[in-house]
Amino acid sequence: AQSKVSTRALGWDTGLKWAGVKQGPRAFGHTGYTGTSIWIDPDRRQWILLLTNRVHPTAANRKLIAFRKVFHEAMRS
């Protein structure tokens, strides 16, 4: 049965939550705690990789999460 909460599929995230809205319906990706992320969009034949080096992050600092969305949207424009 498919979960109504999780957007994961075989370890990849399949929802729009972390990558913005300019991706195809089959896009998938993964985010890392230090800010890294990868998103692959097979319909557009496009992939986006963000490498970061945030040290000693805390859950209270959400700035990088917002930046990721802006970054992914800009790369798809």
**2-39 pLDDT, tens per residue?**
556 667 777 888 876 667 777 888 889 998 888 899 99
Provide the CA 63 distance to its chain's centre, in angstroms: 14
DSSP, residue by residue, 1-51 = ---SS--EETTEE-SSTTT-S-S-TT-EEEE-TTS-EEEEETTTTEEEEE-
| Residue 71 lies inside a defined structural domain of this protein | yes
SS3 55: coil
Q: How many domains does the chain have?
A: 1
pTM of structure: 0.73
Report if residue 54 sits inside a domain: yes
Structural domain that includes position 30:
8-76
Whether 50 shows a pLDDT value over 90: the answer reads yes
- pLDDT category at 56 given cuts 50, 70, 90 is confident
